[in-house]
Copies of this chain bind each other. A is one copy, B any other.
């Protein structure tokens, strides 16, 4: 039950062409000194035989697998498809494969998942941490994607500024009484988003925040959020920290007979796949995952291909100046080494509209309640 390799290897090509295997290696990689004609001949023979380099052999020799690990907090997160797609694409462009690991929302599992990836020999990790978990020291470069306010973050969307944009949009529409809907107090992302929204509000604006997760835990998964009460007391804008929760809000309001956006505006975050297809389509804030992924991958590959070989062995300089000439291929943008944030994009759709005046509101309410 030995190695079940199918195709030919370098030695076979070498024999077929009549040269040494080193020459084949040099010809195919373009590294050593090989005459142009020979390069062409070797290329042709390799193609003819359907040669596929053995990643195992290469990995063993070079010490690099050209595979990155993607550690996800909870794959069932609806934002995950976007993340995975963007990361896979960026990694693929940079010549890397992506090995996934799901931490199922659990910190212990996350640690195990990371360990498994390391054992598989990944060259680096992209970690989207569970609720701002710190990652213990690992033996390979790590890029964290969380929020700018998380220590150790490498790159992320500027959730705060995205929140501010959204709030300004709602302010412009005349809204002065806000309800923020969060899921989980411990989430850095959610706190940033709500913080950003609050920061844009003036003194004449009132706001309140409710958290879904504790409500569900107390009252069961199908608990009502009691939005009707808030609407009756004058709230005209409900901003959820995710489209998923915005959807919950939207349908709860619609079932209660409240018109969106005529009576209440509803907004979300993330621009999930369903945001444009619901009625009314959801005003939300879009993350440029493609760019985030590019930056994360670029930061990682730079560190992998750069000088600092292992963990923290060398104490001295941290600067890595002379390595930007070789990767003129994929990501052109400058990549801030330390931590960078990518701005979000407001997507104005149909679920946000002018604030109803208190009069209008009272009238409509009467219409619906008193039949």
Contact = CB atoms under 8 A, between A and B. Distances in A.
Interface of A: 1-7, 52-57, 59-67, 75-78, 80-82, 84-85, 88-89, 92, 97-102, 104, 116-121, 139, 221-222, 224, 244, 247-248, 250-252, 254-255, 273-274, 276-281, 309-311
A273 B99 contact: no
Nearest to A57: B60
Contact of A56 (B59, B77, B104): B59
A119 B53 contact: yes
Contacts of A222: 276, 281
25 contacts: A1-B309, A3-B60, A3-B63, A3-B64, A4-B310, A5-B63, A6-B139, A6-B310, A6-B311, A54-B121, A55-B120, A55-B121, A56-B60, A67-B99, A75-B88, A77-B81, A78-B81, A84-B100, A85-B102, A97-B116, A244-B274, A247-B247, A254-B255, A254-B279, A255-B279
B277 A244 contact: yes
B97 A99 contact: yes
Nearest to A225: B279
Contacts of A81: 75-78, 80-81
A247 B277 contact: yes
User: How many chain copies does the complex carry?
Assistant: 2
Given A88-B101, A247-B278, A277-B248, A309 B4 contact: yes
B52 A118 contact: yes
A158 to B, nearest CB: 23
Contacts of A57: 60
Given A2-B63, A78-B81, A254-B279, 9 more contacts: A55-B119, A56-B60, A67-B120, A75-B85, A97-B116, A224-B279, A247-B277, A251-B254, A252-B279
A251 to B, nearest CB: 4
B121 A78 contact: no
A119 B247 contact: no
Contacts of A75: 81-82, 84-85, 88
Given A88-B75, A92-B116, A273 B244 contact: yes
Contacts of A101: 88
A278 B62 CA distance: 52
Given A88-B101, A97-B120, A121-B55, A63 B277 contact: no
Nearest to A311: B6
Contacts of A1: 309
A86 to B, nearest CB: 9
A76 to B, nearest CB: 5
A119 B55 CA distance: 7
Nearest to A249: B279
A117 B98 CA distance: 10
Nearest to A6: B139
A118 B65 CA distance: 14
A251 B278 contact: yes
A37 to B, nearest CB: 27
Nearest to A69: B97
